[in-house]
Structure 1
Amino acid sequence: MRRNGWRIGGGAVLVAVGVVWTLQGVGLLGGSVMTGVTLWAVIGPVVAVAGLVLVVQGLRRRAR
């Protein structure tokens, strides 16, 4: 059960980081050297999807 909590918590952090990176990459969230850099608009969603995968895995294993 402890392992599932790590997956859910770590996945949630990855989703949040991915969303911030995406917003910075497309220029909607300023104040960083990452603002307006297309690379972060691509990396952000990849990180967010990886986080979602971890959250779903953690929730599925918890349900068993």
Structure 2
Amino acid sequence: MAQTLRVLGLFALFLGLLWMGQGAGLIMWPASSFMLEQKIWILWGGVLTLVGASLLVVAQRSR
């Protein structure tokens, strides 16, 4: 269970950071992405990053 939470947490954390970077215009990949420089994706990426961090905390505590 803890291993699954850890994997999901890391995936969510990195995906959230990617979304934030794309929304802020810092990561312009892929070039055809609809998320590039769309500020709402900074918010959604931040939410997903917090969810991922929370999953990592829960995984650490359930060891």
- The equivalent of 1:60 in structure 2 is 61
Aligned-pair identity (%): 28
- Cα distance in 2 for partners of 1:47, 1:10 equals 11
TM superposition shift of 1:33: 1.6
More helix as a share of residues: 1
Provide the TM-score with structure 2 as the length reference. Answer: 0.91
- The equivalent of 2:9 in structure 1 is 11
- The equivalent of 2:22 in structure 1 is 24
Root mean square deviation, CA, Å: 0.6
Q: Greater shift after overlay, 25-34 or 44-53?
A: 25-34
Q: Which runs of 5+ in 2 are unaligned?
A: none
Q: Secondary structure at the match of 1:13?
A: helix
- Cα distance in 1 for partners of 2:7, 2:56 equals 7
